[in-house]
Amino acid sequence: MMADVAALGRALIDAWQASGDDRYLAAGRRAGTAMQNLFLDAESGGFFDIPAQPEPIGYQKFRRLPLTDGAAPSAEAMAVLFMDKLAEATSDDEWRRGLGAALAWGGTRLQSFDEMTASLGMAYDAFINPPVRISVIGRGGEADGLAAAAWKLYEPSRLVERRGAPGDPASAKVCVGATCREGIKDVSSFARVIAELRNGSTTNAGGFVAAP
């Protein structure tokens, strides 16, 4: 089921963010490849709920693009959120192939679903707005404190990245889209820095730089 692969992919990206272990990101790429090869609607965009079958029977005859939330979030929203986060984590827009078309198709049907599409609304937000990326440099207690503060922020689409090695001075680099500020050491300043970057502020405690 597509929803299972999307959920696994999001869990792998979260594990990579929390640990900095690139094996989780490599596994996330494999999940993304499965999403594109097995479920992507190459003609219209979006992701079908089940893979194509050579001789489908019963339910397998009806491949759908499920938009609504139920006991679990919308499978289509989970797919968009995973693939968008994978593209951000790997700096590879190829993972976003089909996402714009999926959201455009879903947008034509939203009025009939009202609050049952809350997860899809989060997918629109993640796809349309510049992503927030927080790179935590260094290892050890101070760097772990910066990472913990980054995780506590209410920024649903934010990505936390661990860089550096033990002994590196602990600091953080915050990017909103292509605009960044580096050299941040105050855990209480993340929300303010993100707001300033998002609003295009020119105040410069740590220095604006172009995103790599």
Ordered per-residue pLDDT tens for the chain, 212 residues: 888 999 999 999 999 998 889 999 999 999 999 999 998 887 777 888 777 777 766 666 666 777 667 677 788 888 889 999 999 999 898 998 888 887 877 776 666 666 677 777 788 888 888 889 999 999 888 999 999 999 898 888 889 999 887 788 999 999 998 899 999 999 889 999 999 998 874 433 333 334 44
pTM (two decimals): 0.78
* Per-residue model confidence (pLDDT) at position 203: 39
CA distance 111 to 100: 19
Residues 6+ apart with CB under 8 A from 98: 36, 40, 41, 42, 45, 46, 47
* Per-residue model confidence (pLDDT) at position 113: 61
158 closest CA partner among 133, 122, 195: 133
* Per-residue model confidence (pLDDT) at position 59: 66
* Per-residue model confidence (pLDDT) at position 212: 40
Does 119 lie in the same domain as 138? no
For residues 178-192, one letter each, b for 16 or more C-beta atoms within 10 angstroms of the residue's C-beta and e for the rest, the string is ebbbeebeeeebbee
Could you give the number of structural domains in the chain? 2
> Which residue, of 94, 128, 162, is where some domain finishes?
128
Does 142 lie in the same domain as 194? yes
Does 57 lie in the same domain as 149? no
- Residue numbers of the domain that contains 96: 2-128
> Which residue, of 97, 128, 159, is where some domain finishes?
128
Does 171 lie in the same domain as 196? yes
Does 67 lie in the same domain as 37? yes
Cβ atoms within 10 Å of 152's Cβ, excluding its own: 11
